[in-house]
Amino acid sequence: MAKNFEGISSMSRQELCELIDYYKNNDPTELFAAADAVRQQYYGKKVYFRGLIEFSNYCKNGCYYCGIRNGNKNAVRYRLSPQEILECCEKGHKLGFRTFVLQSGEDLYYTDDIMCKIITEIKSRFPDSAVTLSIGEKSKETYERYFEAGADRYLLRHETALDDHYAKLHPKNLSLENRKQCLFNLKEIGFQVGAGFMVGSPYQTTENLAADLEFLRELQPHMVGIGPFIPHKDTIFAHEKAGSVKLTLIMLALVRLMLPQALIPATTALGTADPLGREKGLKAGANVVMPNLSPVEHRSDYALYDNKICTGEEAAECLACLSRRIASAGYEPDFSRGDHCSIKFEYCFSRTGTN
């Protein structure tokens, strides 16, 4: 079945638009089956578990769609100390996690020195684990320091690949050109790199989505995060319509077919938008989930959008629940590092100086 989609890697933007529109208006079951077959070709039925640590919701930026934007006076702000971050990792390691995803707003409190000490300490205490950072746009020199300290992966969603749309979602001091440059810098340094975008964000067109696919084809990231836009009550987009789950799944499947070896999460936003969103994401080609290891008292404060699921099966405390759901959907929970299948773990392990 996947042979029907082999041409996707060379399609023009217009052809991609036509493909997206076709599945928007028709049953995408065959598309999802093809994407699932491709992911199984490279990763089998494994679903990699990552431990998510949301360590600060302070942010210097004012992205119009985001609930932790600097202008939101209603946000209850918090920061975790380096020791608290390490305690989250300790808990996660005991639960079986071998990847920790450190995510925050762009918080200037965490200087390069502080972040590098945190990274180095995590790698020292848990040398069998990968460290993923998701902390925004930085200079190439800063990214190099993170890498030298031992960070393995970096997530930085591009959000949208066309300048005019980017300008409608972000204040003037933020540029798509810089964001894209950050992604290319990260790849050049040697990180496993993650990009990604929202589906159904305000002003988004089919051409925007096709351009997102084109950009991913150019970047060739190791990871791609895709989730539906979900409005937040304290932003200018509070009354905008949420993104379509069906269209999100279509885009997820198309990314899987375009980047067969990518690590693609069934995102929290997908699980928030649809109670079965996670399972649907896996059946459309996703192969990663990220349960929350953050301190329970802060989880609801890291609210990028409204009604985010952060307890129950989304929480690390209920790993058995989430594992059962994944197994019942026909997949295999996997707690290993779960590197991109082109990466040799021995290299990742040895470059930190721990082996």
What confidence category does residue 181 fall into, taking pLDDT thresholds of 50, 70 and 90? very high
CA distance 304 to 291: 16
pLDDT tens digits along 217-240: 999 999 999 999 999 999 999 999
The full set of domain ranges for the chain reads 8-350
Helix (H), strand (E), coil (C) string for 127-158:
CCCEEEEECCCCCHHHHHHHHHHCCCEEECCC
Q: Which residues are annotated as a binding site for [4Fe-4S] cluster?
A: 59, 63, 66
Determine if the pTM surpasses 0.85. yes
SS3 (DSSP) at 315: strand
Burial class of residue 155 (count of CB atoms within 10 Å of its CB; 0-12, 13-18, 19+): buried
DSSP tag of 222: S
Asked if 79 contacts 56 with a C-beta cutoff of 8 angstroms, the reply is: yes
Q: Which residues are annotated as a binding site?
A: 59, 63, 66, 134, 159, 179
8-350: CATH topology is TIM Barrel (3.20.20)
Q: Which residues are annotated as a binding site for S-adenosyl-L-methionine?
A: 159, 179
Q: What is the pLDDT of residue 1?
A: 36
Asked if 305 contacts 228 with a C-beta cutoff of 8 angstroms, the reply is: no
pLDDT tens digits along 66-121: 999 999 999 999 999 999 999 999 999 999 999 999 999 999 999 999 999 999 99
Q: What is the pLDDT of residue 306?
A: 53
Would you give the distance in Å from CA 26 to the centre of its chain? 28
Q: Which residues are annotated as a binding site for (3R)-3-methyl-D-ornithine?
A: 134
| Residue at token pair 């066309």 | 162
